[in-house]
Amino acid sequence: MDAVHAYIDQHMERFREELDAFLRIPSVSARREHDDDTRRAAEWLADRMRDAGLTVTLHETPGHPIVVGSHHGAGDAPTLLVYGHYDVQPPEPLELWTSPPFEPEERDGRIYARGSVDDKGQLYLHVKAIEAHLRAAGSLPLNVIVLAEGEEEVGSANLMPFVDEHAERLGADFIVISDSTMYRPGMPSIGASLRGIAYFQVDVRGPAGDLHSGSYGGAVVNPANALARIIASMHDDQGRVAIAGFYDDVDTPEAYRKQIGSLPFDDEEFRAEVGAPALGGEAGRTTLERIWIRPTLDVNGLLSGYTGEGSKTVLPSKAMAKVSCRLVPSQDPDRIRELFQAHVERVAPPGVTVDVSFLHGGRPWLATLEGPLVDAASRALERAFGTAPVFAGEGGSIPIVDEFERVLGARVLLMGFGLPGENAHAPDEWISVENFEKGTHAAAALLAELGR
């Protein structure tokens, strides 16, 4: 194993250059104008996986392609499936980036680029760990499959149909995903829970066209005012979601809640990091509870009427909100969809029509924090970082975690190398150079530990 780790250190500069090339491809899955770029990212990744020594196929889907690489040279040894995604979030607003989102730049020990941490950097370090074993040791200590999709940021609509269809070929004993953050710098972490998601678009329509707010205002229901009332109705004064039945299925093990309470956490440090004047949220909950094990309802976007410079006295004909709920075990996105739609129907005022579209959903997940996978990961992380990992929740969603476990019948390990403040989904996204390097070592060590 020393030769494997030495290989990683010797070739790290090249690994970094390759990652930069990956990051330069604007594979924004949500935008049709980037469809060619997204395909190019898939093809680039497939080529690099072949270079690493894997047998690779690129599978067409109704959306973006799925890349599968595998190496089954370890006979009866177990099989590890590595999952990641090569698509990225839209980079807007562009003016808030310090350096352009698709021109990676290293500053202060960080690689800044859209997708650096979510998820190109964290996916690519596994490819490099596999390469290190095959080049330095000439073989892999277990069988591996790398599964990379290009639609994670838009709901992974085509992934599970693909996994269902190819369940035999994708058969694995363990699954590892690096698409999450460590609890703190220098504190390697194993993911203990994920939130699910239910993402909606609410479209309110009133008059057939925009109207003069003087000639018509007061007698025509304003879709933007109506939208504001609908959204405001979704929280009570205690910061709780006020949709009837919303909390019915929330069920967090008390032991896990206590474990969360034992982690060091400084509210003022967190507040300063996000730069808000104060923290807020559901009354009676700690910050870690609020972001890990309590569900939310957040507006992600608002648009209506005139939004340019100066003033325009228009009564807009329509108003739009994107609204998403983060879900916790055991909430179900389909059930939340029903409750959300019923709520909107109940509060929508006369004088406008309101349509709710369900853009995508994903189930929440709770890890099982015992067994050979977690034990191997603990040793691998301790080898790479010099300290044992902690178990941490994750506020974000990786909907396919729950689905992988159900379809492939293998436990999932969340071993993330992002860090708090990494700006995933925001301007100035970054990954720590140190974590990219130690993450590559940890990924290589995990292969060795699981292959023992």
Which of the residues 67 through 96 are near a second copy (CB under 8 A)? 89-90, 92-93, 96
* Residue from 322, 378, 382, 407 binding a second copy (CB under 8 A): 322
Identify which of residues 88 and 377 has a Cβ nearer to a second copy in the complex: 88
- From the list 144, 177, 98, the residue with the least C-alpha distance to 403 is 177
CB 54, min distance to a second copy, A:
30
Alpha-carbon gap, residue 200 to 341, rounded angstroms? 9
Does residue 283 bind a second copy (CB under 8 A)? no
Stretch that binds a second copy, among 62-70, 121-129, 139-147, 275-283 (CB under 8 A): 275-283
Stretch that binds a second copy, among 52-60, 248-256, 378-386, 420-428 (CB under 8 A): 420-428
Identify which of residues 129 and 198 has a Cβ nearer to a second copy in the complex: 198
* Residue from 63, 150, 389, 396 binding a second copy (CB under 8 A): 396
For residue 97, what are the CA distances in angstroms to 153, 426, 428? 20, 9, 5
Binding to a second copy, residues 204-233 (CB under 8 A): 206-222, 224-225, 227-229, 231-233
CB atoms within 10 A of CB 60: 11
List, in sequence order, every beta strand (DSSP E) within 46-108. Answer: 55-59, 66-71, 79-85, 105-107
Does residue 360 bind a second copy (CB under 8 A)? yes
Binding to a second copy, residues 10-29 (CB under 8 A): none
Burial 253-285 (b: 16+ CB within 10 A, else e): eeebeebbeebeeeeeebeeeeeeeeeebbeee
Alpha-carbon gap, residue 25 to 8, rounded angstroms? 24
CB 386, min distance to a second copy, A:
26
Does residue 440 bind a second copy (CB under 8 A)? no
Does residue 154 bind a second copy (CB under 8 A)? yes
Does residue 158 bind a second copy (CB under 8 A)? no
CA 270 to chain centre: 20
Site map (CB under 8 A) of a second copy, residues 107-136, x = contact = ------------------------------
Both tokens of 11, joined, read 């070739």
* Residue from 3, 21, 279, 388 binding a second copy (CB under 8 A): 279
Stretch that binds a second copy, among 193-201, 242-250, 252-260, 370-378 (CB under 8 A): 193-201
Task: Give the max Cα distance, the chain.
Answer: 79
Pairing of β 211-212 and β 174-177: unpaired
Does residue 197 bind a second copy (CB under 8 A)? yes
Alpha-carbon gap, residue 315 to 205, rounded angstroms? 12
